[in-house]
Structure 1
Amino acid sequence: MRAKRCGRCAGWLVLGFLLFLTAPAPTSWSPPLTPTATDTSVPAIGRTWPVGVRPAVLRGWEPPATVYGRGHRGVDLAAPAGAPVRTVAAGRVSFAGRVAGKGVVSVELTGTDLRTTYEPVTASVEKGAEVEAGEVVGTVAPTGSHCTTTCVHWGLRRGETYLDPLSLLPPWLLHRGPSRLLPVLGVPLPK
């Protein structure tokens, strides 16, 4: 009787193993929609540059290889001293004060887990203030810049992860130069 039961169990094990081997591969896996600390995707929610209309980017974003490694954790935008500094998207001011002798304004962006920072800035807002996209949060400080000329360092973080702040701006706002129309397939060009 016991041999019969073991034979039946062995049969089921063999059948299960064969089904496992012949089962189709699982479909592609999708990551969860909730962002993680290493999520580098950024929604293009910005509506304006922090300074000027299309300021020159003096130094771009260079992510460090390690937490304390060399790099540039933001972008430097050319701006004259006294120029207004605007928040690129709506949010709440989480910091307005001095850090290492430089004026800094940080804004937690509404509906996201992102925070932008602008420096060196003479703040015109206080911590806790609600700001709209394009609202002035201060002016470019005449001193304290790490650029060879006056500039604004614009940073973006998700938690402790630095991200490229230019990714907040939609492509049409980043584009320089005139628009170019392309021909529509099947429609002849005018002569």
Structure 2
Amino acid sequence: MHKALCALLLLLPPTATWPVTPRPPVLRPYEPPPTPYAAGHRGVDLSAPPGTPVRAVSRARVAFAGRVAGRGVVTLELTATGLHTTYEPVRPTVSGGDEVEEGQIIGEVEPGGTHCAIPCLHWGLKQGDTYLNPWSLLPRTPPRLLPYLDTPRSTIATAASATTPGSSTPSSIRRTAESTTP
């Protein structure tokens, strides 16, 4: 992904709203194609039975709400980003030009007309002609370091308290990182 695009995605406030709630099982993840015209999966398939309400994952303007190749499609232009999210198959309850808020219902999953083996919602993200991973819009959970299973707790407590004044990183971890940094 381009550095400017990565920076844009990091500046976006992460949304807590999934397109369907509660958080559905993922039937097929985003699989970017190696080239623009190669095979791949340009979105995420979420398990969703027909009639499931579909929600806007962010504040947006409806760029398109209608039928494409016999399927209902909604495309939202995310406010001030140049990004578009797509949802299909959806029976839209919004119209082109409408402004929507995060979490607002924009339609419902239609029966049939899907590429999944079971009913699903295909959720996509694009910038221009470039497909992106829609999961990048969801909250980023900060990583947590957990102790090794065979490390005694007393060693962990000692290492955590061995910080240099003004630093929150234990000196033993800092030394290890410094010795492995080129």
TM-score of the pair, normalised by structure 1: 0.70
Q: Which runs of 4+ in 1 moved over 3 A?
A: 181-186
SS of structure 2 residue aligned to 1:127:
coil
Q: Deviations over 1:20-53 (max 9, x none)?
A: xxxxxxxxxxx9x8x4xxx355235323000112
Q: Is 1:70 the counterpart of 2:39 in the alignment?
A: yes
Checking the alignment, whether the CA contact within 8 Å between 2:58 and 2:78 is kept in structure 1 is yes
Identify the residue that residue 69 of structure 2 maps to in structure 1: 100
* Cross-structure match for 1:116: 85
1:152 to 103, 118, 121: 121
**Residue type at the aligned position of 2:34:** A
Specify the alignment match of 2:177 in structure 1.
Answer: none
- Please, which runs of 5 or more residues in structure 2 have no aligned partner? 148-155, 162-182
**Secondary structure in structure 2 of the residue aligned to 1:171:** coil
Larger Cα Rg: Structure 1 or Structure 2?
1
What does 1:51-90 align with in structure 2 at a 5 Å threshold?
A: 51-90=20-59
Structure 1 CA distance for aligned equivalents of residues 58 and 64 of structure 2:
16
Counting only pairs closer than 5 Å after superposition, residues 169-188 of structure 1 correspond to structure 2 as: 169-172=138-141, 185-186=160-161
Cα shift at 1:171: 2.6
Cα distance between partner residues in 2 of 1:100 and 1:40: 32
Whether the aligned pair in 1 keeps the contact of 2:56 and 2:102 (CA below 8 Å) is: yes
Q: Is the 8 A contact 1:109 1:116 kept in 2?
A: yes
CA distance in 2, matches of 1:81, 1:40: 34
Displacement after TM superposition at 1:80 (Å): 1.0
Q: Percent identity?
A: 54
**Pick from 140, 164, 182: which aligns with 2:109?**
140
Determine if contact 2:14/2:140 at 8 Å carries over to the other structure: no
| CA deviation after TM superposition for structure 1 residue 84, in Å | 0.1
The alignment status of 1:50 with 2:16, answered yes or no, reads no
The letter of the residue matching 1:106 is T
Distance (whole Å) between structure 2 residues aligned to residue 115 and residue 101 of structure 1: 21
Residue-pair matches, total: 146
- Secondary structure of 1:111 counterpart: coil
TM (normalized to structure 2)? Answer: 0.73
What SS class does the counterpart of residue 107 from structure 2 fall into? strand
Aligned alpha-carbon RMSD (Å): 2.5
For 2:129 and 2:97, the matched residues in 1 are separated by 21
Distance in 2 (CA, whole Å) between partners of 1:65 and 1:40 is 18
